[in-house]
Amino acid sequence: MRLAGFMKTSDFRVVPLRTEIAEAARRAAGSGAADHAIVTADSPRGFPCRHCLRWAQPGERLILFPFAAIPPGRPYSETGPIFVHAEPCERYAATGEFPADFRQGRVFRAYNSARDMIDAEVVNGSESEAVIEKLLQNPETAFVDARSVTRGCYTFRMERI
């Protein structure tokens, strides 16, 4: 039995994009791959880096490339565009904490172990953790993906600890 309250340890961990995927994207962009674009952020809330889980600031360069958040071979397979900083950045390390930059404008999608989507909820603000924990309370839920509620792009994954 867990204790509820302010000191409660979160029941989930944040899974940012793997560093080797960010590095591969930087290499591919550097070699001119047609599906890897180098872009410059021109607004403070339009270019989320999936590796450090921060918004790129205007003027920072990023790589835009397709990422298979749900790999091919299943009905809910999904590949879509994501950004990572063009310069090396530090992978998000506070994996026990919801990333502060993404409390607004996310939808949480719950998937089962077969990678079928089984639930989804739009989340804004401080209820983020409560919704994650509610989705993870379903024993069928294997992981929860946060995506942009407007453009649908994959942002990061959350798993049970």
The interface with Zn ion within residues 58-117 (CB under 5 A) comprises: 85, 89
The yes or no reply on residue 123 touching Zn ion (CB under 5 A) is no
Quick count: other Cβ atoms within 10 Å of Cβ 29?
21
Task: Choose one: 33-41, 47-55, 93-101, 145-153; the region binding Zn ion (CB under 5 A).
Answer: 47-55
Given candidates 14, 25, 41, 49, which one binds Zn ion under the rule CB under 5 A? 49
Query: Between residues 51 and 106, which has the closer beta carbon with respect to Zn ion?
Result: 51
In 3D, which of 8, 14, 41 has the Cα closest to residue 99? 14
Six-digit token pair at 46?
Answer: 């339009």
Provide the sign of the torsion angle of the four alpha carbons 108, 112, 113, 115, taken in this order. negative
Query: Between residues 57 and 104, which has the closer beta carbon with respect to Zn ion?
Result: 57
Please report which helix (H) or strand (E) contains residue 158, including its range.
strand 154-160
Query: Between residues 85 and 110, which has the closer beta carbon with respect to Zn ion?
Result: 85
The yes or no reply on residue 26 touching Zn ion (CB under 5 A) is no
CA distance to 42, 101, 108, 132, 135, per residue, from 67 (Å): 22, 21, 18, 23, 24
The yes or no reply on residue 29 touching Zn ion (CB under 5 A) is no
How many chain residues bind Zn ion (CB under 5 A)?
Answer: 5
Given candidates 25, 41, 52, 123, which one binds Zn ion under the rule CB under 5 A? 52
The yes or no reply on residue 51 touching Zn ion (CB under 5 A) is yes
In 3D, which of 49, 53, 51 has the Cα closest to residue 18? 51
Judged by the rule CB under 5 A, the positions of this chain that interact with Zn ion are 49, 51-52, 85, 89
